[in-house]
Structure 1
């Protein structure tokens, strides 16, 4: 269509619209609205040619823009729709900008936005976005108006307006990139105010707009947005985290001054490598590969020497882990020193997600840094130590995984110098196990060939008293045990060279632990120590080291107290070694002699005696397994047991005497001392045992009675009558004991005493002793307890064969005094039957 024809057609349309244009000034709102709608039908809806529409739009623009301030919402809505359609259809929409932009700046860009309806603000923003799309660089002269509008609408209360504003920002920055940087800074504050909006789609839009603003800006505002972007990495919405990852990757690849911000941007991208969503992890990994490859290409000349020999992974690289590219590794290596202070700071953040992400990032960085982490070892260990005390288990576990990588890449000679010093002198009194925990993780990452030359140094450190005996917390002992386990797992048969030190640690863990499960785990570790040395059992392990273990314990025996860990270690050694301890009795007894002297700590002696009592009860399978304890038993009895039976005031002293008498009883029952040896020692032993019958504690008196009974059973028929006559009066006293158990055992001992009367015991000559015995027993035959009566009756029946006439006389004397003469009658009948039998046996 010729230009003249187009103008004629446009004129016809405008003449047809003249009446409707006049109606726009009517007071009636319905009239105004119908007029706008009619204009729409006669123009954009009719399918007029673009050139005609351009002419018409130029004439209608001012009246339509005036309608944007119409009091009626419907009129404004229709006017926005009509203008939007015109902008979309006309060939030169930029011609409307001198009138359109000032109008929109008034409606949307004033301090107080004049468009009250949020839906219309959204429509107006959509129209502005369309204008940006179709006008492009023609909007450059209106930069200030656009910025004023976007500053207001980005913080608009209506979420959809915020999103559309962000979308408009992205398009506008791309369209006028040569001029945008001059005022880009003005959008940073409103974007950061909106980046934490409750709607995830708004947050995504803001992040994308921030990318554009920073990318096309001066680069001065990167620091202003980084902390906000970092927070979005912990967002609950995967789409938000994905958006941040994409934006950071874009900045690393395309931002003009990106080299200056590598140290700040790299942690953000690498944090997403461990995101819980696979899609985000893959995106982050792909972007990071691109960043590394691009940097490698840009610095190719500088990397020429490294590109040849750094492409082969280190010899002991973690299995199943893909090695990052050279460019990626170099980027981390060059920025690690700047990153570590921030890592150390964030690992203590009050927010758990921040600490977890930071701990994950640490492993990623070390995987890239490889052996270059050696020069940063001290700050790295300080960070890991703090993280291991975190109450959030994931934080500690992630940092232990990082520690394992240190063991892989850092030479053992370097990390052991620091770690072993920390183990011997923990910097935290509240968490002394932390250095052990980290040492275990580092050792787990170290290879066997590299670790072998340092095995003795490690084992010697663990076996030091200041290390393995200083703390009794379960957590500390668990880490000590874990350290031994990792050595066994990593070095296997090489641990044979430090078997003694490892066994000392395992013995200590068992001795100090109050946790049954932990003790069982330590025993399992001891079995593992046997396995790596091809030993059949733990007893073989003890046989291999028993002499050294006893020397180890003997070195400090003079300083032992009830709190000394060495006493507990002795308990573990002698009880777990079973019959093996019987092979080393000659070395064990001097140790026991020294720690059981009466001047040593009473409670410590009490516990050692209790331990020995258990061993002596099963002497053939423990102390006397080789028959060697019998050679030591006389000395043990005279030099150890008897001195501890001497009376001293105090409850603790009484408890020691009770434990010593129990040990004596175990010695007698276990068969570790022969009757012949016992007979030789009887004169020394008898006074101590008889004095124990008067102990204040019922248990002490009971054990003493049992000891007397056992002595009588073993050597009673070999004792001299004078020795026998010194025993029964003490036993008779116990018949009035407050404890029924003591009375019962005392009666058993008197029964044994009567059985011990041999041919050397003259009843006629020693009748006064028998008379006293019979009188006391008859007194108790009238006891209220029928069980006691029966027991006394049986004893007197046995006594009737010793001196029947004397017993008959004593029974007849008390028969009428008893509450019931029944037992006396039965006893007289028994004596009578004995006389009859004796008469029948005599020849006529």
Structure 2
């Protein structure tokens, strides 16, 4: 061995002898000379391939001159010197012997506040030299801890991205090489690493994360809080490689950090956040690391959880289908840390950054899946958090949190969550978002088993049908959630709705009555149909038949307090319209309700809306109110006690509008056939008086409706009217021939035609000649109307008058013929009278 060492020394001496001149040239002022000398030294040493022993001797002799060249003004000289030293470090058997000179030199060159090396590529080469030194020297670098850390403090934030990456790599390697000493200086690397962890280059961020993992793991641990927030932000990094690096580092901490039990509550969320990453590789890595963490914890705490390991292997009943149950160790870790995790989750779910809220909402579901029934202990803060998050503007956040709420329904007993949730539904947390508890309740019910939920259906339905719940708010979003809650009950417990059918129908009726969106109304109608289907009924009509008496009692209880703002008015509208012919079977209990809310002293706007509703029904009375002929029995009373009092004139525009709506209802009653001529005759005097008064309404619509109503009355009972009654009707109609509305004039002419057609023998033309004369004279005036269509209508009416008193009509027509602008229509009328039978034309007044 001694002989070999002597041989190496001799060989090294020979080489050095040949390099003596080049070594001298290193001190020359000429930079080309120095450059050439360095190249020759490199060529004759590391490039020559000498034995390692020879190189060791050469390195010992050349190290100082080479280190001196690291500060050479010429960049090429510094580059060659670094390359030569690097090759020596890589090849010599004892590189640690160079440390007393190499490390201080690098510290001076790279560790100062000012950058002594201007060339970024050379700074990279110098850091690579340091990394190589750490690799080959290992624990021998312990005495130089401070120098190395000073270097890394500067180079980790080097302006050159590649130098940063290499520095991070070196820092991680150095932490692992001298773990017994590194913890004393680890803290000083945390700040520069955190500056680099958000670098614009993703590869630099990855290196910084990996270095952070090693630095923290081999440090004191007290800097954990300083890095966690930065790592958490990297979970939202656009680069999958960065997110993967965070997952790997956190998983490694959870598995190998000495004091990891103290940081479980901080690290578990970071690792589990990767379970829902969009990249499959990251999801698999996160899940695999989490399984390892759980298995390791399970093994380390085997004695403590022995009973659970033996008896809690099977999943709980109604476990979500298609979901793999986490291992016992994983579940226990979450359960034991959930009390600390819930406040953190609550905080992050209100973060101003959307990605943070989305990722946190995903994490919440993962945690609840692990916690299972242990989430019951944290139900109050969890529900408060969910109420708040349901108002988030980001759809994914809301969707994820509703998925978490569904898990609460799966694992928490209904008797527990309903006590809290139903109280919050009746008294919402936030007046500005009263629908939030309903949304959460819907999701929770969606996760609950029908078998477990069935005993609580009545309690839920009773709460939903309370006026404070279903009638208090009219926002579309609130109604939407109310409808969704009913819908989940219908679809979740299909065969158990007999006891709650009425309450659910009340809610659905209320939703329809308040809804201003067709979509919502259609959905409510579908739910009514579904409610009837799940009970084995043929149609929604049968459902209304089953509950109509109860529904009318429900409304009647408050009818004396109704106003135009009362929801009951709208509920009544939905019930009577949707029930179709079924409402005709319940006219008895319906009429007192109508009599009460249509009293002339009640709210005018409410009366108008109900009259409008009744008009629609009465137009099709045989398929609605009079489907069983029962309304006809009540129609006389309805006419006398409801309609006619509302036709009495009162001052004001609102009162006029009420009269108009009542007239439309009267016309519908007459047209729909829900009243008989006999009933009309009984009330003829009162009815005639109010209708004739309505002919003087300021409203064109009111006058038109009055004219049409009078026409129908004449058609139905005109032949039974007393002549005195008839003689009160025609003057009012004649006045309407001068109406500003052409439509009113036309209907008045039709009514006059019906008046003449309905005259019977009781109306003696000779005795009533003055009335007929006035009528003929007025009609003949309008026979010369500027409007040709009016002339034609008047002519047809006068032709009917020719059958009543032709002689009188002839005389009146001849008297005005020459006064009219055109005698055409007058001549037609006279020809018509002449064509009548002789005995008819011979009649005339004495």
The answer to whether residue 345 in structure 2 is matched with residue 343 in structure 1 is yes
Give the SS at the match of 1:55: helix
Q: Given the alignment of the two structures, is residue 552 of structure 1 paired with residue 554 of structure 2, yes or no?
A: yes
Q: Which of 453, 457, 473 does residue 455 from structure 1 map onto? A: 457
Show CA shifts across 1:521-551 (max 9, x none).
0000111101101111110110000000000
Residue in structure 2 matched with residue 790 of structure 1 by the alignment: 792
Contact 2:807–2:841 (Cα < 8 Å) also in 1: no
Is the CA contact 2:833–2:841 (under 8 Å) kept in the aligned structure 1?
no
- Kindly indicate whether the alpha-carbon contact (under 8 Å) linking 2:595 and 2:642 is maintained by their aligned counterparts in 1: yes
Is 1:669 the counterpart of 2:671? The answer is yes
1:84-113 CA deviation, whole Å, 9 max, x = no partner?
111111111111111111111110111213
Displacement of 1:603 in angstroms is 0.7
Does 1:376 find its partner at 2:378? Answer: yes
Following superposition, the deviation at residue 572 of structure 1 comes to: 0.5
Q: Quote the Cα distance in structure 2 between the aligned partners of 1:396 and 1:295.
A: 33
Taking the aligned partners of 2:62 and 2:447, their CA distance within structure 1 comes to 78
Is the CA contact (8 Å cut-off) linking 1:245 and 1:269 kept in structure 2?
Answer: yes
Question: What whole-Å deviation, never above 9, does each CA across 1:466-502 have from its counterpart, x for those lacking one?
Answer: 1111111110000000000000011111012200000
Instruction: Specify which of 157, 160, 172 is matched with residue 159 of structure 2.
Output: 157
Partners of 1:352 and 1:840 lie apart in 2 by 99
C-alpha separation between the residues in 2 aligned to 1:341 and 1:275?
Answer: 23
Partner of 1:16: 18
Distance in 1 (CA, whole Å) between partners of 2:9 and 2:793 is 142
What is the aligned partner in structure 1 of residue 571 from structure 2?
569
The correspondence for 1:74, drawn from 69, 73, 76, is 76
Contact 1:232 1:240 in 2 (8 A): yes
Deviation at 1:63, TM superposition (A): 0.7
Q: Distance in 1 between matches of 2:174 and 2:568?
A: 79
What corresponds to 2:515 in structure 1?
513
Query: How many Å apart are 1:4 and its aligned residue?
Result: 2.1
Give the deviation of 1:679 after TM superposition.
1.4
Alignment of 1:176-575 (within 5 A): 176-575=178-577
CA distance in 1, matches of 2:837, 2:326: 109
Look up the match of 2:749. Answer: 747
Please say if residues 558 and 595 of structure 1, whose CA atoms lie closer than 8 Å, have aligned partners that are also in contact.
Answer: yes
Name 1:602's counterpart in structure 2: 604
Asked whether the 8 Å contact 2:612–2:661 carries over to 1, the reply is: yes
Alignment of 1:37-186 (within 5 A): 37-186=39-188
- Give the drift of 1:838: 5.3
User: For 1:39, what is the secondary structure of its paired residue?
Assistant: helix
What is residue 613 of structure 2 aligned with on the other side?
A: 611
* TM-score normalised according to structure 2 size: 0.98
Contact 2:806–2:841 (CA<8 Å) still a contact in 1? no
Tell me the distance in 2 between the aligned counterparts of 1:619 and 1:6.
Answer: 122
Preserved contact between residue 180 and residue 217 of structure 1 (Cα < 8 Å)? yes
Rate the CA distance shift 1:179–1:742 in 2: closer, same or farther, 3 A.
same
Distance (whole Å) between structure 2 residues aligned to residue 201 and residue 8 of structure 1:
48
Mapped to 1, the partners of 2:148 and 2:441 lie a distance apart of 60
* 1:317-368 deviation per Cα after TM superposition (whole angstroms, max 9, x unaligned): 1111111111111111111001111111111101000011111111111101
TM-score, normalization: structure 1?
Answer: 0.99
Quote the Cα distance in structure 2 between the aligned partners of 1:836 and 1:498. 79
Cα distance between partner residues in 2 of 1:823 and 1:157:
107
**Matched-pair contact (CA < 8 Å) for 1:496–1:532:** no
The 1:748–1:840 alpha-carbon spacing in structure 2 relative to 1, beyond 3 Å, is: closer
**Alpha-carbon offset, residue 3 of structure 1:** 2.4
Deviation digits for residues 620-671 of structure 1 (CA, Å, limit 9, x no counterpart): 0000000111110011000000000000011111111111111111111111
Q: Secondary structure at the match of 1:817?
A: coil
The equivalent of 1:801 in structure 2 is 803
Q: Deviations over 1:191-223 (max 9, x none)?
A: 011110000000000011011111111111111
* Cα-to-partner distance string for 1:665-705 (whole Å, 9 max, x where unaligned): 11111111111111122122110111111111011011101
5+ residue gaps in structure 1? none
What stretches of structure 2 of length at least 5 have no aligned partner?
Answer: none
Aligned alpha-carbon RMSD (Å) = 1.1
Matched, 1:772 2:774: yes
After superposition, the Cα gap between the structure-2 partners of 1:12 and 1:189, relative to the gap in structure 1 and judged at 3 Å, is same
Higher mean Cα deviation, 302-311 or 145-154? 302-311
Cα distance in 1 for residues equivalent to 2:660 and 2:841 = 50
SS in 2 for 1:495: coil
Give the distance between the partners of 2:318 and 2:786, measured in 1 at CA: 85
Q: Which runs of 4+ in 1 moved over 3 A?
A: 835-841
- What secondary structure is seen at the aligned counterpart in 1 of 2:500? helix
Distance 1:822 1:141 in 2: 132
Could you report, residue by residue, the CA deviation over 1:706-730 in whole angstroms, capped at 9, with x for unpaired residues? 1111011011111111111111111
Q: Equivalents in 1 of 2:216, 2:489: separation in Å?
A: 52
| Counterpart contact for 2:806–2:840, Cα < 8 Å | no
Contact 2:807 2:842 in 1 (8 A): no
Contact 2:465 2:506 in 1 (8 A): yes
Q: Is the Cα–Cα contact under 8 Å of residues 834 and 841 in structure 2 kept in the other structure?
A: no
1:33 alignment partner in structure 2: 35
| Aligned counterparts of 1:238 and 1:825: Cα–Cα separation in 2 | 100
